[in-house]
């Protein structure tokens, strides 16, 4: 995951979209899946299911993995500028007053 890509929001359209984000982040930290699972207090099976979009993963466990990898889950209205930015893949233009 490049430095710029890691700073841009990612719009998830399906449950399976979360897996590649988690895998890229784990690999960017040079963690093997078993090492990450141990550090995050989850099973290797859970990490694998999350990264591969297979089976179900409890939300509290998914949030723990995201937090442990330095990621955050945000829920925004679709019309929010950050949602539009993530959908377009382009940074949103700064507001006239310099605030985003």
* pLDDT, tens digit, 9 for 90 and up, residues 54-82: 879 999 999 999 999 999 999 989 899 98
pTM of the model: 0.78
What residue has token string 């723990």? 64
Domains belonging to the chain, first-starting first, are: 3-75 (1.10.260.40)
Q: With a cut of 60, say whether residue 5 has pLDDT above it.
A: no
* pLDDT, tens digit, 9 for 90 and up, residues 44-56: 999 999 999 987 9
Angle at CA 90, nearest 5°, toward 85 and 91? 70
Tell me the C-alpha distance between 52 and 60, whole Å. Answer: 18
Number of H helices, E strands in the chain: 6, 0
User: Residue 51: which of 31, 76, 26, 22 has the closest Cα?
Assistant: 22
């Amino acid at each position: 995951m490049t430095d710029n890509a890691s700073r841009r929001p990612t719009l998830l359209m399906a449950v399976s979209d979360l897996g590649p984000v988690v895998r890229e982040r784990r690999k960017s930290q040079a963690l093997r899946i078993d090492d990450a699972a141990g550090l995050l207090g989850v099973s290797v099976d859970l990490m694998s299911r999350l990264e591969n979009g297979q089976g179900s993963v409890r939300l509290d466990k998914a949030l723990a993995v995201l937090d442990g990898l330095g990621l955050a889950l945000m829920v925004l209205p679709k019309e929010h500028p950050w949602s539009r930015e993530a959908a377009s893949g382009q940074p949103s233009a700064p507001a006239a007053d310099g605030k985003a």
